[in-house]
Amino acid sequence: MTTTTEFLPAPLWNEALFTGEWSRPAKALSSVIEPATGKSLGNIAMADEALIKQACQEARQAQRKWADLHYDERASILRKAISIAEQHSDEIVDWLIKESGSIGPKAQAELGFTIKSLIESAGLPSQSHGQVLPSSAGRLSIARRKPLGVVGVISPFNFPLYLAMRAVAPAIALGNSVVLKPDPRTAISGGFVIARIFELAGLPKGVLSVLPGDGAAGAALVADPNVAMIQFTGSTPAGRKVGEAAGKHLKKVSLELGGKNSLIILEDADLDIALANATWGVYLHQGQICMSTGRVLVQRKIYDKFKAMMIEKAKNLPAGNPATEQVALGPLINEQQRDHAANLVKAAVKAGATLEVGGNYNGLFFEATVLSDVKQDNPAFIEEIFGPVAILVPFDTDAEAIELANDTEFGLSAAIISRDVGRALALGERLQTGLLHINDQTVNDEIINPFGGVGASGNGTSIGGPANWEEFTQWQWLTLKGDAPQYPL
């Protein structure tokens, strides 16, 4: 593959000849595969434990100088990064489409989220860093926010650019340095693009390092004594391991994990609007989103009609190569994810669900699928599928809808469609979830909002908007007197 500009020079990714100040040579290479075609997009270097250790040491050394810079100098680099991302938007979107299997509109939206994250982060250095506390006469008492130091970021494949940048940008803006380990499957759009943006923006050497690697590299990052915090976005099983290791090393940790999110459609809903919301929530990016609508709970009075509409809609959602076709569904990321989805569909049918449409695949292209009458003990009701599969479940009362939605170890996102906003809000107040949307679907993020889940969806810590101050800084209490007191002992 050739790039359209010199934004991301080919040697940067294809020969592992890293010329940027943010990178280091490595021996092991990994091929980045285009999921739609199975072709190699090029090779990337894979970091080992020694390389992680070196990067963390350099990050700690660079962090102090970076934090000591005038706040406007740090903000200026963020502002330059915004301009660079906008200038090279076409090439960045092209990488997202080819590397992650994103359809065009999703890739464009992801770039938009990423730029907005940079915009919001550019404003952080000039915001208030604390507050003056009440104290006695002649004594100044201040609670102020200080950078943590080195932040390790482990990011996923599904929204690779944004889900890395939403941690990298605010962490850097608030005076931290960052070591980023992107998923090797999307190391270019989830790592090298970010590194190149900041390199061109003038970020000092050592403040950001991008090191794709396997689980051993991630474990080394979590364990490194120079790292003060880990921000992890990924699966719940992997998140449990990261949380356990971070706790062992007494590190601050932010876990953004999986979800089994419910969209509740009440009997008074406009069915066309409900269908549009359900389709978006279930099938966007082939269902490979932590906020994807994992269950569509439909009140029984409208269940049969809505089911027929959902089936017809699924039949008309084309799948194909988003780099060359106008399609609704691109490929799943790899064979493992495809097989996981296919096996869950088979298990669901074996457990009593009805396969209304779909369930088949061609290569990594998985058909839009609808499973109906899924019971609470069905594997498809319980497990996160991460594929384009609609799970339809009827209910009778609001209390039953609440019970169904809360019957999960996850607690990320929930949504309710109804003309009766008061009723929907009262129902929503009883849902155990970090994100709640009335008259919308479950896949929502506006960058300026706190984002986080509870239970198996995360450790309750939020990222984004005002929560970034809580995430990437720590409180220090400072008192000041004109003269030291004489204590009696």
For residue 179, give the amino acid letter. V
DSSP class of 456 = G
Rounded Cα distance between 212 and 44, Å, is 8
For residue 304, what are its two tokens?
């049969």
Strands across the sheet containing 139-147: 130-133, 139-147, 473-481
Active site residue: 34, 99, 110, 256, which one?
Answer: 256
Distance, in Å, from the CA atom of 7 to the CA atom of 195, rounded to the nearest integer, reads 11
Q: What is residue 233's DSSP assignment?
A: E
Q: Are 393 and 374 in contact (CB under 8 A)?
A: yes
Active site residue 256: yes
The answer to whether residue 290 is catalytic is yes
Asked whether the beta carbons of 167 and 153 are under 8 A apart, the reply is: yes
Residue with tokens 């009766």: 420
Angle subtended by helix axes 421-428 and 398-406, to nearest 10? 40
Q: Considering 58, 199, 290, 471, which one is annotated as catalytic?
A: 290
Look at residues 117, 49, 185 and name the one whose alpha carbon lies nearest to residue 465: 117
Give CA 157 to chain center in angstroms. 9
> What is the rounded CA–CA span in Å between residue 213 and residue 236?
19
* Closest C-alpha to 232, from 123, 333, 245: 245
- Pick the closest to residue 155 from 81, 255, 83 (CA basis): 255
Structure tokens at 200: 């061109």
Q: Which amino acid is at 180?
A: L
Q: Catalytic residues, which ones?
A: 256, 290
